[in-house]
């Protein structure tokens, strides 16, 4: 029986390697569609939580995990030997940068080695981890063909970029269009057949390199435009112009303009990292991606600019940074989620502490965080607590923050997100 027929009948067995923000939602969607899914992760604590029906990913309700585990359609494990039972394998592992800002594909290689060890005839393997163009062909394919199998005949290999946007209430795994590119046309067909059983829209492209480039273009587009917004904010500050008013007015144009907003820096796994994957590959090809790298530099220096604004806010009250008490509102990288990956708030905290400030944070989504050598716990925003601080920094505009209470009782506030839009007070220092 062809794999497409087994997929249509839900008798094929998917496996997902990596049960984080990408892999867990995908595995649960497969299970909800009627498949029996093996979810594999090397983190024993995560697997134990999932077996108890507890989700650690905000976009995946625990009730969904519990229901799929109880029904026997989602089987979390740390044992890679289950890959031998799988008909399809999705690799959803991290792709960070190393200390020199070069791609670290060690997680991809480790996962692919496990797949190669258990590869069987007719299996479909799909890489979803964001990476540079050529990864699927250059790294994974040789590992899978080392045993003599022929791609497109004995096994199928494709790339499909993850497009997860944590906290997005309108677009999640099921209804975000899925780009798919296979090593061969037959690989593309089989990979599309898998996703069409679960996801609303599948977009086939001509090959893996195109699919890999799609994700990098999407996030580099955002990085470059946010970089432009940040540089415009710096220029407007020099010129004494309200950048937020400028952007709002420009956004009234019904064509030729798309609003992007300045902020304290880039966060999350994708936008701060993906452009470096692209520029790294460009250098290997003898091409200098100057525009992309410049945007990265502008965005990367925004936490330092925020600290300078804090210094200015304190100076207005005749206070030095050293010894001042500062409250950072929000350590998640964006509003109303608990994800702190690459959060600029953490850079701001470290920079202020290096200058001698005493820094606390408030975040209803992140009650505790371990970084810079110690565990920190969130402060609750009350009249009494706010009054203790010389300055507050709105780094993440969570909807649950009481900004009027903050403004009433803090001595100064640096607003990096325009959270205090419409409010006028000499206490406010805007980005």
Q: What confidence score (pLDDT) does residue 234 get?
A: 96
Q: Mean pLDDT across the stretch 20-44?
A: 96
- Classify each residue of 19-56 as buried b or exposed e, where b means 16 or more C-beta atoms within 10 Å of its C-beta: bbbbbbbbbbbbbbbebbbbbbbbeeebbebbeebebb
Catalytic residue IDs: 270
Q: Mean pLDDT across the stretch 161-166?
A: 90
d(CA 89, CA 381): 46
pLDDT digits (tens, 9 = 90+) for 405-421: 999 999 999 999 999 99
In this structure, of 101-110, 117-126, 341-350, 384-393, the range with the lowest mean pLDDT score is 101-110
Q: Mean pLDDT across the stretch 58-69?
A: 95
d(CA 375, CA 106): 28
pLDDT above 80: residue 188: yes
Q: Mean pLDDT across the stretch 226-239?
A: 96
| Contacts with 84 (C-beta within 8 Å, 6 or more apart), sequence order | 118, 120
pLDDT above 90: residue 279: no
Share of the chain above pLDDT 90, in %: 86
pLDDT above 80: residue 252: yes
pLDDT digits (tens, 9 = 90+) for 102-123: 788 999 999 999 999 999 999 9
Residue 300, classed as helix, strand or coil, is helix
Q: What confidence score (pLDDT) does residue 1 get?
A: 66
Q: Could you write out the DSSP letters of every residue in 326-388?
A: EEEE--SSSTT----TT-HHHHHHHHHHHTT-EEEEE-TT-SEEEETTEEEEPPP--HHHHTT
- Element (H or E) spanning 307, and its range? helix 302-316
Average pLDDT of the chain? 94
> Of the candidates 258, 260, 272, which has an alpha carbon nearest to the alpha carbon of residue 301?
272
Q: Mean pLDDT across the stretch 380-389?
A: 95
d(CA 103, CA 98): 6
Contact yes or no for 151/138 (Cβ under 8 A): no
Q: Could you write out the DSSP letters of every residue in 142-192?
A: HHHHTTS--BTTTBEEEE------TT-SS--TTTS-EEEEESSHHHHHHHH
Q: Which domains does the chain have, with CATH numbers?
A: 3-206 (3.40.50.720), 216-299 (1.10.1040.10), 301-430 (3.40.50.720)
pLDDT above 90: residue 367: yes
């Amino acid at each position: 029986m062809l794999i497409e027929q087994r997929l249509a009948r839900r008798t094929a067995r998917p496996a997902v390697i990596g049960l984080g923000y990408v892999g867990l939602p995908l595995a649960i969607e497969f299970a909800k569609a009627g498949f029996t899914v093996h979810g594999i992760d090397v983190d024993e604590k995560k697997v134990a939580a999932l077996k108890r029906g507890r989700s650690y990913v905000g976009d995946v309700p625990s009730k969904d995990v519990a229901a799929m585990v109880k029904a026997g359609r989602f089987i979390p494990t740390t044992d890679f030997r289950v890959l031998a039972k799988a008909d399809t394998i999705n690799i959803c592992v991290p792709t960070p940068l190393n200390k020199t800002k070069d791609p670290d594909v060690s997680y991809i290689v480790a996962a692919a080695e496990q797949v190669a060890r258990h590869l069987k005839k007719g299996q479909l393997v799909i890489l979803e981890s964001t990476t540079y163009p050529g990864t699927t062909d250059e790294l994974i394919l040789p590992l899978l063909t080392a045993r003599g199998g022929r791609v497109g005949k004995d096994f199928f290999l494709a790339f499909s970029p993850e497009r997860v946007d944590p906290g997005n209430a309108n677009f999640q795994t099921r209804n975000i269009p899925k780009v798919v590119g296979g090593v061969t046309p037959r690989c593309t067909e089989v990979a599309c057949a898998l996703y069409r059983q679960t996801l609303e829209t599948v977009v086939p492209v001509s090959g893996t390199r195109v699919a890999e480039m799609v994700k990098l273009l999407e996030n580099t587009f955002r990085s470059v435009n946010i970089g432009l917004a940040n540089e415009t904010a710096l220029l407007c500050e020099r010129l004494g112009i309200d950048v937020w008013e400028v952007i709002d007015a420009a956004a009234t144009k019904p064509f030729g303009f798309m609003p992007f907003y300045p902020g304290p820096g880039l966060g999350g796994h994708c936008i701060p990292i993906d452009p470096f994957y692209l520029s790294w590959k460009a250098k290997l090809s003898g091409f200098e991606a100057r525009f992309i790298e410049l945007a990265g530099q502008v965005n990367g220096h925004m936490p330092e600019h925020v600290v300078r604004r804090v210094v200015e806010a304190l100076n207005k009250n005749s206070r030095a940074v050293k010894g001042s008490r500062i409250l950072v509102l929000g350590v998640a990288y964006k509003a109303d989620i608990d994800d702190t990956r690459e959060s600029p708030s953490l850079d701001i905290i470290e920079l202020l502490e290096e200058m001698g400030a005493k820094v606390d944070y408030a975040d209803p989504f992140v009650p505790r965080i371990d970084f810079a050598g110690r565990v920190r716990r969130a402060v609750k925003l009350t009249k009494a607590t706010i009054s203790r601080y010389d300055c507050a920094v709105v780094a993440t505009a969570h909807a649950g923050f009481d900004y009027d209470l903050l403004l009433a009782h803090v001595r100064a506030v640096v607003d990096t997100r325009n959270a205090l839009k419409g409010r006028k007070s000499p206490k406010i220092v805007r980005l």
